[in-house]
Structure 1
């Protein structure tokens, strides 16, 4: 399913791209229709209201963990309101148009923003409408695809604040997936005594080293950490995180398990060593900063922190037309998806930017 759009695949959706002088009348949206079933819907082109922007999407990104749970229908019924995406359409569990990594070009709304490339927490839709305050103009020199990682960077930043991770700390990140690597790259900008990414897969450890990070096996990881950030979404990973935490240390749990049950080894030295497990959820800014940072300010900070290393986390591309099949593969763990970190969905406008 991994592919890159060609010039001939551009169907055209915006008047200034096509040069036809006519606005598009319809737009495509990706919806999870039922458990394990996704489809593209053709809908009328949305219109922005007062204070809103119409954005034509260049790229959207698949946040593998969250979107797999949504695709499989594994969002617990009692937290569907809490776990909804900022600009989702429909209601969890389904039918729903979820997702929260979107970069596009402003087409209507504030005159000062028309033509600007922006990141929003919107999903896999050719056109999105969001409030002006929810659109973040890309920093100068930031490629559109890199900016997709702003939403993941926000998760990583939340985890670092939740610890909190401080200068001179010994820090372990357990799990070298999208969340773990993004968190580790952000943490690497701090003056830490030690930063290790704990990963069981040898090939992934080699990739992590290429990012300039220290990758180790669970057996070789340093002990006595001040903060351990866990994102492997597995019981074994959480057990490793607890083992690596020093006395009185905190494990920040960044994984979301959905309806799955996990076994946590609390009967060993968890109480004796006074360990803490802190939940972090991106829907809220952590308590220590909640009175001084809005969610929008947190996202803007994450976007500004993305450097060229983050480009290496983009591992594959597929055109929007293939998204239903791609999402099924991602959610079912098809072999080709296991090496993916951030899989990018290219929308028709992307072809114009690539070849125009």
Structure 2
């Protein structure tokens, strides 16, 4: 392939078939007038969603809705997928050159993107922690959807990245009793680091004002329903792909007049939609990452060139990995 001085060779991760990933090289042209070129420092695996992509478990009915902002290809395969990338602006708009930025872009070493689609990082925010921005945006939207408040008893079932970030945000409400609930007792140390309580499902306090479910399992949803108090809200954040889920809607579900509400980051929560744009929400999420306690969510970084062979290990349910940062040369 002939490459002019205005082009660059990028390396990108592609999902090629069920359980199959590979790194492909591609030429990218010079950025257009409204674009900047970003050289990647870190990206991160979104374990829940990317495990579904990796396994070919995106339902056909969701092929369009599940497209990431800058993905390439089409579901089920091959697709270039991902949405947590931090880099620095190499060229383009002069005011942005040299700035560190976050973008909802797949795993790729260098790319062009509209200047309006990036979020500048605060100087004090470490770029490795900034890969949590998309997850924080999801958590922020969920808090808006669930609408907890000061002095509420709040349970978050599922101590993955998003559930932990929801707990972290709720922990800032004055007087709130916030508990992160998980079957893995090792998550107690994570909860302590984030400044919230921890309980195994059998030991969690019930009669909660708000319960957020983020475990990705039907059993977790049943636990969330059990922990909800009279007329409380149970916010469902888990997305199960093509899996059928059974929820316990018998027993006292109706007599307690529980509200089971979905939350999804694709749309801004109705409470904020009239005033907030996606750009404003992402900028707010980035600003919320400046607390060093959030480093407890990050695994040691791995090299991008090793990502294809490490992917099965990273996405394995028993790996214990929360957020896997990927470092680029």
C-alpha separation in 1, matches of 2:151 and 2:316: 41
Q: What does residue 305 of structure 2 align with?
A: 321
- 8 Å Cα contact 1:72-1:331 kept in structure 2: no
For the aligned residue pairs, the C-alpha RMSD in angstroms reads 1.5
1:342 aligned to 312, 323, 328, which one? Answer: 323
Q: What does residue 293 of structure 2 align with?
A: 309
C-alpha separation in 2, matches of 1:151 and 1:237: 23
C-alpha separation in 1, matches of 2:148 and 2:279: 21
Aligned pairs for 1:1-356 within 5 A: 25-306=8-289, 307-333=291-317, 335=318, 338-348=319-329
- 8 Å Cα contact 2:38-2:112 kept in structure 1: yes
SS at structure 2 position matched to 1:43: strand
Structure of higher RCO (CA pairs closer than 8 Å, 6+ residues apart): 1
**Gaps (5+ residues) in structure 1?**
1-21, 349-356
Bigger Cα displacement from structure 2, 314-323 vs 62-71: 314-323
**Gaps (5+ residues) in structure 2?**
none
C-alpha separation in 2, matches of 1:62 and 1:221: 30
C-alpha separation in 2, matches of 1:159 and 1:255: 11
Q: What does residue 352 of structure 1 align with?
A: none
C-alpha separation in 2, matches of 1:47 and 1:291: 37
TM-score, L = length of structure 1: 0.88
Cα deviation for residue 59 of structure 1 reads 0.3
Count of residues in correspondence between the two structures = 324
Cα deviation for residue 332 of structure 1 reads 4.1
C-alpha separation in 1, matches of 2:170 and 2:132: 15
